[in-house]
């Protein structure tokens, strides 16, 4: 996938308009495509604001999260879900046969019966659950863009004429309007630090911290959508088998430890008092060392509905790939971006 350059006027002056158009799109698939495009425009605008060498920002990552959401919105993972229903049915059949004291020779029959039941039930229940999951994932997809995207557009707009933070922070949602306004305040405070420093290590650290606070805020807001989209009895199975995602050409799975790129930077100088305090807050929710680690063991998630497991994985992922160029790649080709902007499904490979 290629880089797509947008003009400053497109990426800054009309960002809020583009976001609102995406949020109003009634077609679920096209809405997801427009939301993904908006995240890419926001990523470029914030990248220009933070300056050269800042690394990935929240919207760089949100591009790939939105693309993954599109798989469920289009229900393209339905076949895998049905197969998992058959596997679970087999295991249940074996377990029931053993508990009922069936002779060993009958256990294969129990497994076949369970597989058949799992497949039959999958046709009725899993299809309904995937439809509900698709609706919830789209609602979450819209929530992230509205909740954080509009604030990023305002941040970029306000900093362009006058680099001043207090006015921006005063316009963030009050506690009665959002679940975790303090996390967004932390996120944009760190982005402002990245914007104003000229030290490369400090700029990268501040951008990374901003990303982590933004995604933490996002996951607090998305908690009901994630819980609702993953039925209780299959949460571990879904985490293990379905939660794979792409970052450019790279495919990862949340059920596996975050890999360490060969280019992962060596530990940098000790953090400032402000950065150290921010890192402490992140460790409180993730329970993981976040700064300067060369290896990332025990970061795999077993149940994606558990926010501590999600944050442990995501914070480590953000750290490991913060400066990797594929994170900032465009998700679509220029002609596909043009089609999406025009309200059309793009031609070629885009799924």
Per-residue pLDDT tens over the stretch 45-55: 999 999 999 99
In three-state secondary structure terms, 8 is helix
Q: Is 167 exposed, middle or buried (0-12, 13-18, 19+ CB in 10 A)?
A: exposed
CA distance 46 to 58: 9
173 touches 23 (CB < 8 A): no
- pLDDT higher than 80, residue 322: yes
Answer yes or no: pTM beyond 0.75: yes
pLDDT at 78: 55
Residue 93 pLDDT grade (very low, low, confident, very high; cuts 50, 70, 90):
very low
CA distance 19 to 62: 14
pLDDT at 42: 97
52 torsion bin: left (phi>0), alpha (psi -120 to 50), beta (else): beta
Per-residue pLDDT tens over the stretch 250-268: 899 999 999 888 776 555 5
The residues spanned by each domain of the chain are 23-76+135-341
Per-residue pLDDT tens over the stretch 269-298: 667 888 888 888 888 888 776 665 555 788
4 touches 36 (CB < 8 A): no
- pLDDT higher than 60, residue 96: no
CA distance 142 to 135: 11
Which range is most confident: 89-93, 111-115, 344-348? 344-348
* Nearest C-alpha neighbor of 323 from the set 12, 33, 57, 2: 57
Residue 238 pLDDT grade (very low, low, confident, very high; cuts 50, 70, 90):
confident
Higher-confidence position of 62 and 96: 62
75 touches 100 (CB < 8 A): no
Which range is most confident: 23-32, 67-76, 126-135, 233-242? 23-32
* Nearest C-alpha neighbor of 16 from the set 45, 58, 50: 45
What single string gives the DSSP state of each residue in 180-219? Answer: -HHHHHHHHHHHHHHHH---HHHHHHHHHHHHHHHHHHHH
Mean pLDDT of the chain: 81
231 touches 129 (CB < 8 A): yes
CB under 8 A, 24+ apart: contacts of 86-93: 86/115, 86/118, 86/119, 86/122, 87/115, 87/118, 87/237, 88/118, 88/234, 88/237, 89/114, 89/115, 89/116, 89/117, 89/118, 89/119, 89/121, 89/122, 90/114, 90/115, 90/118, 92/117, 92/118, 93/117
What φ, ψ does residue 293 adopt, rounded to 5°? Answer: -75, 140
Residue with tokens 């309007």: 177
- Mean local confidence (pLDDT), 1-9: 45
Choose the weakest-confidence range: 39-53, 78-92, 187-201: 78-92
73 touches 134 (CB < 8 A): yes
Measured CA to CA in angstroms, residue 343 lies from 10, 31, 42, 178, 346 at distances of: 17, 9, 19, 31, 9
pLDDT at 215: 95
């Amino acid at each position: 996938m290629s880089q797509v350059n947008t003009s400053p006027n497109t990426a800054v002056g009309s960002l809020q308009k583009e976001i609102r158009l995406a949020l109003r799109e009634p077609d679920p698939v096209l809405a997801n495509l427009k939301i993904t495009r908006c995240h890419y425009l926001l990523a470029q605008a914030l990248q220009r604001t933070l300056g050269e060498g800042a690394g990935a920002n929240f919207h760089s990552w949100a591009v790939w999260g939105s693309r993954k959401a599109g798989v469920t919105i289009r229900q393209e993972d339905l076949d895998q879900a049905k197969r998992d229903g058959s596997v679970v049915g087999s295991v249940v059949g074996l377990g029931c046969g053993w508990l009922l004291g069936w002779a060993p020779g009958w256990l294969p029959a129990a497994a076949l019966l369970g597989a058949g039941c799992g497949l039959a039930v999958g046709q009725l229940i899993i299809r309904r659950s995937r439809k509900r999951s698709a609706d919830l994932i789209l609602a979450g997809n819209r929530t992230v863009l509205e909740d954080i995207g509009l604030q990023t557009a305002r941040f970029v707009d306000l900093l362009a004429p006058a680099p001043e933070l207090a006015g921006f922070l005063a316009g963030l949602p009050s506690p009665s309007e959002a679940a975790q306004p303090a996390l967004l305040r932390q996120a944009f405070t760190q982005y402002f630090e990245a914007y104003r420093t000229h030290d490369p290590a400090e700029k990268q650290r501040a951008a990374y911290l901003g990303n982590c606070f933004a995604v933490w805020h996002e996951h607090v807001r998305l908690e009901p959508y994630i819980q609702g989209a993953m039925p209780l009895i299959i949460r571990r199975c879904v985490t293990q088998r379905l939660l794979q995602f792409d970052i450019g050409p790279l495919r990862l799975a949340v059920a596996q430890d975050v890999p360490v790129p060969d280019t992962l930077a060596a530990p940098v100088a000790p953090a400032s008092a402000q950065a150290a305090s921010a890192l402490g807050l992140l460790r409180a929710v993730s329970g993981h060392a976040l700064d300067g680690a060369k290896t990332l063991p025990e970061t795999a998630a077993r149940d994606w509905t558990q926010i501590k497991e999600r944050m442990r994985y995501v914070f480590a992922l953000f750290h490991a790939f913060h400066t990797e160029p594929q994170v900032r790649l465009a998700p679509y080709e220029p002609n596909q971006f043009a089609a999406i902007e025009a309200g059309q499904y793009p031609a070629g490979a885009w799924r």
